[in-house]
Structure 1
Amino acid sequence: MTIRAVVFDFGGVLFDWSPHHLYRQLIPDAERRQWFLDNVCTQAWNTLQDAGRPLAEATRSLVAEFPQHAQLIEAYYGRWPEMLKGPLEEGVALLEELHQAQVPLFGLTNWSQETFPYAWEHYPFLRRFRDIVVSGQERQIKPDAEIFHTALARIRVHLPDIAPDELAFIDDHQPNIVAATALGWEAIHHVEVGGTRRRLGELGVV
């Protein structure tokens, strides 16, 4: 088996994104903040926007459900850039190393189509990718198999005869690793860059 391309997830691999970066400012008490993010602006709610639901609709519906938290809910997307602390330097360094080695690079990210343009505008290293599949644009989302099929089809525009087992897929979320592996991709569970680099070395990529 030869790995012919590497596919990167973004959050937790290349970007330090967390609602806590914003809500530490808005809810200083850690216990209250965690309750709010576990019960109001939840990850499950955010995932619906990553799957394509408009941000305004999502905000409106949640404010109707929790009117006492209206200002905090509206801040989630109103101040969304403050959740994106910035790049994870070691992950970006790995990306740059692969780019310098002329390894074809692709992105596969769960991300709202309305917030992704901010990242594209502010982080030039995203230009290293030949193509990026953004869940919100496709209205598909990891770990569903459908978005992996979409990504493979888009990769084949550049590498027409590539097989799933010739792709190394780097993601920090275990369910996505399970899904990719089931489809024949060589999936690497990203915990820290050293471990990911070692696995890429074992695969003959770096």
Structure 2
Amino acid sequence: MTPEIKHIVFDIGKVLIHYDPHLPFARLIPDETERNWFFANICTHDWNIEQDRGRTWEEAEALLIAAHPAREEHIRAFRKYWHEMVPHAYDDSVAILEGLIAEGRDVTMLTNFASDTFREAQERFPFLKLPRGVTVSGDVGLIKPDAAIYASHTRSFGLDPKATIFIDDAPVNVEGARAFGWNAVLFSGAEKLRSDLADYGLKV
């Protein structure tokens, strides 16, 4: 039996707004092989996720510059040109978010995001201020798919886990939400999301 959904929780990056660190670095490091090496060995996903967990950019940059002093300019460019990594929103996804809110649904957001860049994103994309609230990993010092961040969001917003559905583009985060007790769907585009939400009785 499909549960009655009372709470809809959106991820942000690659669900509501585009994110691609290669966008500015295609200009800064034009050679694709070198650029891929840089992301695999210096400004790595694991390095960046610690800013999502709350580490400051100053500390993050200092750590890498100490290890790779010749790469200082490129290391500092990651934060300096962050705005170019998030060039636009996904209008079709935003329309779903706004439609749910317009219907009076309880919509919140849960995101792995550094605190400062999230505030920058909110100013650039005002629809990020429309939901009832947001849990930002950099604010709480926890990241998806840690069970603790789903628990924190549940407590903060008074959610009933069985009546909650979570939308995320990363399979590991979807599985983490399900393991915690939420319903969750993997985002792969707005058309599929509309279909998935309809399966739970949410037609937008």
Q: Which secondary structure state, in structure 2, belongs to the residue aligned with residue 168 of structure 1?
A: strand
**Superposed displacement of residue 59, structure 1:** 0.4
Check if 1:65 corresponds to 2:29: no
Q: Which secondary structure state, in structure 2, belongs to the residue aligned with residue 114 of structure 1?
A: helix
Pairing 1:115-134 to 2, within 5 Å after superposition: 115-134=117-136
Distance in 2 between residues matched to 1:104 and 1:25, nearest whole Å:
41
Pairing 1:191-206 to 2, within 5 Å after superposition: 191-206=188-203
Q: Is the 8 A contact 1:55 1:114 kept in 2?
A: no
Q: Is the 8 A contact 1:52 1:135 kept in 2?
A: yes
Deviation digits for residues 13-55 of structure 1 (CA, Å, limit 9, x no counterpart): 0010111111011011111111111111011100000000011
Pairing 1:96-115 to 2, within 5 Å after superposition: 96-115=98-117
Counterpart among 76, 90, 94 of residue 88 in structure 1: 90
Distance in 1 between residues matched to 2:80 and 2:42, nearest whole Å:
16
Could you say which residue in structure 2 is the equivalent of 1:159?
none
Counterpart AA for 2:105 = V
Q: Which residues of structure 1 form unaligned runs of 5+?
A: 157-161
Counterpart among 25, 35, 43 of residue 23 in structure 1: 25
Counterpart AA for 1:169 = F
Distance in 1 between residues matched to 2:26 and 2:91, nearest whole Å:
23
Distance in 1 between residues matched to 2:144 and 2:109, nearest whole Å:
12
Distance in 1 between residues matched to 2:55 and 2:40, nearest whole Å:
20
Counterpart AA for 2:20 = S
Counterpart AA for 1:146 = A
**Superposed displacement of residue 114, structure 1:** 1.8
Distance in 1 between residues matched to 2:148 and 2:157, nearest whole Å:
14
Could you say which residue in structure 2 is the equivalent of 1:164?
161
Counterpart AA for 1:192 = G
**Superposed displacement of residue 104, structure 1:** 1.0
RMSD: 0.9
**Superposed displacement of residue 205, structure 1:** 1.1
Counterpart AA for 1:76 = F
Q: Which residues of structure 2 form unaligned runs of 5+?
A: none
Distance in 2 between residues matched to 1:10 and 1:150, nearest whole Å:
17
Aligned residue pairs, count? 201
**Superposed displacement of residue 81, structure 1:** 1.1
Distance in 2 between residues matched to 1:174 and 1:104, nearest whole Å:
24
Distance in 1 between residues matched to 2:70 and 2:167, nearest whole Å:
40
Q: Is the 8 A contact 1:108 1:134 kept in 2?
A: yes
Distance in 2 between residues matched to 1:194 and 1:55, nearest whole Å:
36
Q: Which secondary structure state, in structure 2, belongs to the residue aligned with residue 87 of structure 1?
A: coil
**Structure 2 length-normalised TM:** 0.96
Could you say which residue in structure 1 is the equivalent of 2:151?
149
Could you say which residue in structure 2 is the equivalent of 1:14?
16
Q: Which secondary structure state, in structure 1, belongs to the residue aligned with residue 115 of structure 2?
A: coil
Could you say which residue in structure 1 is the equivalent of 2:182?
185
User: Identity of counterpart residues, as a percentage?
Assistant: 37
